[in-house]
Chains A and B, each alone.
Chain A
Amino acid sequence: MEHDVHFHWNMLIVIYLFTAGVSAGAFVISGLATYLGGTRYKRISRIGALIAPWPLMLGLFVLIFDLTKPFQFWWLFLTIQWTSPMSIGTWLLTAFSILSMLYFILWIPRPWRDLLRVPHSTADIFQPRQWRLMTREMVGISRRVIAAIGFPIGLGVGMYTGILLGAIPARPLWNTPMVAQLFLFSAMSSGVATVLLIAAFTPPKDGHDHLLHERHFLVTVDTVLIVLEIFVIIPFFLHQSLNTWSSAESMSLIMGGPFTLVFWVGVVLVGLLIPLAIEGFELFPVIWKEAAVKYSRLWGGLSAVMVLIGGFLLRYVLVYAGQISHFLPIMER
C-alpha cells in the first residue's frame, strides 16, 4: 500500500482563510484611514467598514460545511482550549464579527443610519422610547473607539489564519513563524485591494481630486505591504531550504513539485511582482517629481484584482502543499 495523500482540508478552507483575510484587511485599512486621514479619507473608511463583515461571514458559512457535523459547530463556543489555535481563533473571529458589524452600522450612510436610535443618558437606557438619533459627535467618537479596539483584533485575525497552519510541527512546510507573517501582510494587502477596487468603480460625487488622494494613500499602503510580503517570502524560502531534511524537502513541492507553477507564477508574479510594478508606476510621479499620483482605472483595477488572485492562490498553495509535506523518512505503507 502506498502512503496515501488525502486532502482533508480542501477548497472550503482556502476560501475561508482568504475571506477572513480580506475582512481583516478591510477593517484595518478603514481604521487606519479614520485615524490618519480623518475626513480626507472618509470614503476609504466608509468603503472598508461597509465591506469588512461580509467576506468573513461568507467564509464562516462555507467553513461550517467542511465539518463532519456542520450543525454542531456551536460546540466551539462552549469551551476555550488555550493550546488550540483554532479555539483561540474562534473567539477572535467572534469578537471581530461583532466589532466589524458595529463598525458597519456606524458607517452606514444617511438617511439609512437615521433608523438607529440610542439612549442619550443613563436614565434612558431602559426606556427605548426616549432613545434619539446619534449626534454627529457621538458617531465620530464611536467610530474611532470601535476602530481602535478592532485594530489589534483585525491584525489578530489576519495573523491567526497563518498561525492555524504554522502551529503544527507535523507539517514542515507550515511549521515556521513566517507563514503567520506572510498571511498577515497578504490579508492586509487583500483588504486594501478590495477597497481600492470598489473605490475605483464608485467615483465620488465631488470630483476627481478626491480620488487621487485616496488612491495615493491606498497604493502607498499596498506597496508597503507587498514589499513586506516579498521580504517574508525570501527568508521563508532560504530558511526552509537550508533547514532540516524534512523542511528542505517540503520546499520541493514549490521547487519542481506539483505547486511550482501556481506558486511562482500565480502567487509571486501575478500576486506580487506585477501589482508592485503597476503601483510603483502609479507612485512614480509622487516620488520623483512631487506631482500627483498617476491614475488609470484600468491599471489600478487590474493590479487590485491581481493582488486578490495572488492572495487566494497563496492560501491555496499553502493549504494543499502543506498537507503533503511530512516528516522524513516517509515509509511505504
Chain B
Amino acid sequence: MANPSTDAPRKKRWGFVMESDRCIDCQACMVACSVENNVPIGKHRNWINHKESGIFPNLNQTFMPENCHHCNNAPCERVCPTGATYHRDDGLVLVDYDKCIGCKYCMMACPYDARYVDEEKAAVDKCTFCVHRLDVGQPPACVETCIGRARHFGDLNDPNSKVSKLLATHDYYQLYEEAGTESAIYYIRSK
C-alpha cells in the first residue's frame, strides 16, 4: 500500500491482512461480529470463503476470511444516489443510516457482496471495521476473537504496523483486483 504522495501528510488507512494458513474455519469471527454489531439473524458482515485446489488424493482447502473491503475506490460509494455511503478520513467506508433510502444500488455495485438489508434499520448495512471500537482504540471484534490469529488489523500507511510488516515480508494478493476497487484487505499466499 504505497502512499502516492510522500509530501502529503500521512493519513491513516485501516486495513486487514488475512493469513489463510492460520484460519481453521471456526467461524468465531462471524459470531463475535454478530454479537458486537447486533447483526440481524441470517445476515452476516463477515464470512469465510472456501477454496478447493489440487487433484485427488492431494487435495487442499484454503479458508479465506472476508468482510467489507473498505475500498479506496468504492463502487458502492460511487453509485449511492443520496450520498448515504461515504468515506471517512481514515479510509473507512460507512453508511449514514438516516440518509440511506434502501434503493439497494450499492448492493448491485459491490463485487464482494458485502452488503445486506437491515430491515429494522430500513437501511443497507455492512462491516464498519467496528468503527465504534476503533474510535476508542480497540481492534475490531473479529480480530480480537480470532483464535488462530488469522485476522490482522492495522494502519496500512504506517510502515511499523503489524500489517505493513506482514506485507513487507510475505507474498500477498487481493480479491477481484481487476474491479479497480483498491481494497484494504490483503491475503497472505498459502504456503
Known contacts being A68-B117, A78-B82, A169-B75, is A84 close to B105, with CB within 8 Å? yes
Which residues of the other chain, A, contact B105 by a CB distance below 8 angstroms? Answer: 84, 86
A72–B122 CA distance with the chains assembled, in angstroms: 11
Whether the pair A9, B47 counts as a contact (CB closer than 8 A) is no
Whether the pair B108, A170 counts as a contact (CB closer than 8 A) is yes
Question: What distance in Å separates the Cβ of B42 from its nearest Cβ neighbour in chain A?
Answer: 10
Interface residues of A in 42-68 (CB under 8 A from B): 66-68
Mark each residue of chain A from 292 to 333: 1 if its CB lies under 8 Å from any CB of chain B, else 0. Answer: 000000000000000000000000000000010011010111
Whether the pair B179, A81 counts as a contact (CB closer than 8 A) is no
Known contacts being A76-B82, A331-B64, is A8 close to B75, with CB within 8 Å? no
Whether the pair A67, B103 counts as a contact (CB closer than 8 A) is yes
Asked if A287 CB lies within 8 Å of chain B CBs, one says no
Whether the pair B104, A170 counts as a contact (CB closer than 8 A) is no
Which residues of the other chain, B, contact A122 by a CB distance below 8 angstroms? Answer: none
Asked if B102 CB lies within 8 Å of chain A CBs, one says yes
Interface residues of B in 66-111 (CB under 8 A from A): 75, 78-83, 99-105, 107-111
Candidates B51, B81, B100, B180; contact of A84 at CB < 8 Å: B81
Whether the pair B81, A332 counts as a contact (CB closer than 8 A) is no
Interface residues of B in 115-136 (CB under 8 A from A): 117, 119, 122-124
Question: What distance in Å separates the Cβ of A127 from its nearest Cβ neighbour in chain B?
Answer: 42
Candidates B80, B83, B110; contact of A170 at CB < 8 Å: B110
Question: What distance in Å separates the Cβ of B96 from its nearest Cβ neighbour in chain A?
Answer: 11
Which residues of the other chain, B, contact A68 by a CB distance below 8 angstroms? Answer: 100-102, 104, 117, 119, 122-124
Question: What distance in Å separates the Cβ of A85 from its nearest Cβ neighbour in chain B?
Answer: 7
Q: Which of B78, B107, B122 has the most CB of A within 10 A?
A: B78
A247–B86 CA distance with the chains assembled, in angstroms: 29
Candidates A1, A69, A72, A79; contact of B47 at CB < 8 Å: A1
Asked if B7 CB lies within 8 Å of chain A CBs, one says no
A8–B104 CA distance with the chains assembled, in angstroms: 7
The A interface, classified by DSSP as helix, strand, loop or mixed, is loop
Asked if B161 CB lies within 8 Å of chain A CBs, one says no
Whether the pair A9, B108 counts as a contact (CB closer than 8 A) is yes
Which residues of the other chain, B, contact A202 by a CB distance below 8 angstroms? Answer: none
Closest A-chain residue to B108, C-beta based? A168
Question: What distance in Å separates the Cβ of A282 from its nearest Cβ neighbour in chain B?
Answer: 40
Mark each residue of chain B from 124 to 161: 1 if its CB lies under 8 Å from any CB of chain A, else 0. Answer: 10000000000000000000000000000000000000
Whether the pair B81, A87 counts as a contact (CB closer than 8 A) is yes
Whether the pair B81, A331 counts as a contact (CB closer than 8 A) is no
Asked if B173 CB lies within 8 Å of chain A CBs, one says no
Which residues of the other chain, A, contact B104 by a CB distance below 8 angstroms? Answer: 8-9, 66, 68
A167–B178 CA distance with the chains assembled, in angstroms: 15
Whether the pair B122, A79 counts as a contact (CB closer than 8 A) is no
Whether the pair A79, B180 counts as a contact (CB closer than 8 A) is no
Interface residues of A in 115-153 (CB under 8 A from B): none
Whether the pair B103, A86 counts as a contact (CB closer than 8 A) is yes
Interface residues of B in 38-81 (CB under 8 A from A): 47-51, 64, 75, 78-81
A326–B101 CA distance with the chains assembled, in angstroms: 25
Question: What distance in Å separates the Cβ of B31 from its nearest Cβ neighbour in chain A?
Answer: 14
Which residues of the other chain, A, contact B99 by a CB distance below 8 angstroms? Answer: 75
Known contacts being A331-B50, A333-B47, A333-B48, is A168 close to B101, with CB within 8 Å? no
18 additional contacts (CB under 8 A) given A81-B83, A90-B81? A8-B107, A8-B108, A9-B108, A68-B100, A69-B100, A75-B101, A81-B80, A83-B79, A84-B79, A84-B80, A87-B81, A167-B79, A168-B75, A169-B109, A323-B108, A329-B51, A331-B49, A332-B51
Name B's A-contacting residues (CB within 8 A): 47-51, 64, 75, 78-83, 99-105, 107-111, 113, 117, 119, 122-124, 176, 178-180
Top 7 nearest A-B pairs by Cβ distance? A68-B102, A331-B49, A170-B111, A86-B81, A87-B81, A68-B122, A332-B50
